[in-house]
Amino acid sequence: MSDNSDILLLDGDCGLCNRLAIFIDKRKKTEKELTYLSIESEEGQKIINSFSTKQRDADTVYLIRNGKTFIRSAAGIRLLLYLKWYYAMWYPFCWLVPLPLRDIVYRIIARYRHKFFKKPEVCLFK
């Protein structure tokens, strides 16, 4: 992992997270490097343990962008900035949805993700 790369911490046992990493990787702009790490990995745990208690206990996807940590829907929306222009153009519109509503939707999807997305046989970012 290089010093100028941003980090996306995802659940290594989640089919949705695995598919998300594949989706992003195929549609990513090349200017900014994005490193994928499993939350369960030793390096991922070391990074999470450096967060504040509130963020550490969030049990969510984490995006470290330009040295700042984002969680839940805020991380998800910022992922649009790594994608080609026709995805990135949705970034400002997503911020129009109020944070509490975005996070409610995020939590519902997170709760049922294992039910609808089969655990990957091989995690791409473990």
Number of domains in the chain: 1
Residue 50 lies in a domain: yes
Q: Is residue 100 part of a domain?
A: yes
Task: Write down the pTM of the prediction.
Answer: 0.88
**Whole-number percent of the chain with pLDDT over 90:** 59
* pLDDT tens digits, 16-58: 888 899 899 899 987 678 999 999 899 999 999 999 888 888 8
Using pLDDT thresholds of 50, 70 and 90, give the confidence band for residue 4. low
- One DSSP character per residue, 3-31 reads TT-EEEEE-TT-HHHHHHHHHHHHHB-SS
* Inside any domain, residue 126: no
Mean pLDDT of the chain: 89
Q: Is residue 124 part of a domain?
A: no
Q: Which domain holds residue 111?
A: 6-116
Residue 122 placed within a domain: no
Please state, in angstroms and rounded to a whole number, the distance separating the CA atoms of residues 27 and 1. Answer: 20
Other beta carbons less than 10 A from residue 69's beta carbon: 19
Cα 125 to Cα 37, 94, 96, 101, 103: the distances in Å are 5, 27, 32, 30, 25
Please state whether beta strands 62-65 and 6-10 pair in parallel, antiparallel, or not at all (unpaired).
Answer: antiparallel
Query: Residue 121: inside a domain, yes or no?
Result: no
Q: What is the CATH number of the domain that holds 91?
A: 3.40.30
